[in-house]
Amino acid sequence: MQGTFIRRTLALLAIAMMALAAGCSTIRFSYNQGDTLLYWWMDSYVDFEGQQADVAKRDINGLFQWHRQTQLRDYAALLGNFQRQLAGNPSQADLMGAYREIRVRGERVAQRAVPEITTLAMSITPEQIANIEAKFKDKNDDYRRKFMSGSVEKRQRARFKKSMEQMELWFGKFSNEQEAALRRASDARPLDNQQWLEERQYRQRRILSLLREVQQKKLNREQTTVQVQGMMRELFTRMDSPERKAFYDASLDSTTKYILTAIRIATPNQKAHAQQRMQGWINDFEALAAGK
């Protein structure tokens, strides 16, 4: 699923939960730099001005302090559960449960971030809304070039290459035979890049609409908070809405089957690699929670 302005903000705050964004064996360094990385990423969309930049840095720092103090040990425990499942023979239901656990934690971060997102929304100018809209367009154009251009085979290959980066992060290098099996499993998934682009654009329109409403109507803090909370609920529950549930369910079904294929063909050494990788992340979570 593709991120957007606010969703990416929340994802970066929860970087330790996903333990994938850094693409390296330890997340400790990335997390300790996370407040700076998040500010730079947001600034690339908004182009902060004057005091607005100071407030954004203050709020990001506060969110990371909360996240470090209250969430990371829970993530370590969650990864411990994943370790135990991997040591056995996890089922698709287990993977579905893991997804739900991660989703719950994403929603928790979102709710905690409402005051900071409200402050940001109230400070955005018309020029900055235009900046955000232009950035969205650039990202969408890049997505089209990477994942929606060319033949079906080319698009499947691009999707497979991206997924293998994550698979190899977990399991290490796959043999040619294993990679061929994974490619078949990947190609069996619906090639639904157009639908994901539409979902991305929907979220972008929703964010831009909220920012314009806050700016044009000069909403006060209470009114803006209600709007932000409503948007959060809408974005997180959209996958359960009658018009989108079938699409999201099919996507989750095919994705978990693909991951399950990787687990089932993994050698004992590859599973040990995944166990060690998760243990490294668990150790990082515990160290970060202790302020290290």
DSSP 250-266: HHHHHHHHHHHHHHHH-
Q: How far is CA 24 from CA 19, 35, 163, 197, 278, in A?
A: 9, 18, 15, 28, 12
pTM of the predicted model as reported, rounded to 2 decimal places = 0.84
Using N-to-C axis directions, what is the helix angle for 5-13 and 51-70, rounded to 10°? 50
- What's the average model confidence in pLDDT over 30-48? 89
Query: Is residue 4 over pLDDT 50?
Result: no
From 127, 131, 123, select the one nearest 52 (Cα to Cα). 123
What is the per-residue pLDDT for 243?
A: 85
Q: How far is CA 47 from CA 10, 122, 216, 254, in A?
A: 19, 15, 19, 39
Residue 149 φ/ψ, nearest 5 degrees: -105, 155
- What's the average model confidence in pLDDT over 262-290? 92
What is the per-residue pLDDT for 100?
A: 87
Q: Which helix (H) or strand (E) holds 70?
A: helix 51-70
Residues 111-153 pLDDT 10s: 999 999 999 999 999 999 999 999 999 999 999 998 898 899 9
**Long-range pairs for 156-165 at CB < 8 Å and ≥24 separation?**
156/186, 156/187, 156/191, 159/186, 159/189, 159/191, 159/193, 160/186, 160/187, 163/258, 165/23
Query: Is residue 288 over pLDDT 60?
Result: yes
Using N-to-C axis directions, what is the helix angle for 114-123 and 51-70, rounded to 10°? 170
Mean pLDDT across the chain: 87
Cα gap 3→110, rounded to integer Å: 14
From 33, 9, 37, 28, select the one nearest 106 (Cα to Cα). 9
Structure tokens of 291?
């302020």
- What's the average model confidence in pLDDT over 217-222? 98
Query: Is residue 15 over pLDDT 60?
Result: no
Query: Is residue 39 over pLDDT 60?
Result: yes
- What's the average model confidence in pLDDT over 19-39? 68
Cα gap 147→164, rounded to integer Å: 15
Using 50, 70 and 90 to split pLDDT, how confident is the model at 43? very high
**CB-based contacts of 46, cutoff 8 Å, min separation 6:** 124, 128, 131, 132
The DSSP result for 175-204, as a single string, is PHHHHHHHHHHHHTS---HHHHHHHHHHHH
What is the per-residue pLDDT for 140?
A: 96
Stronger pLDDT, 291 or 199, i.e. the higher one = 199
Q: What are the domain boundaries of the chain? A: 5-289
- What's the average model confidence in pLDDT over 198-211? 94
Query: Is residue 242 over pLDDT 80?
Result: yes
Using 50, 70 and 90 to split pLDDT, how confident is the model at 26? low
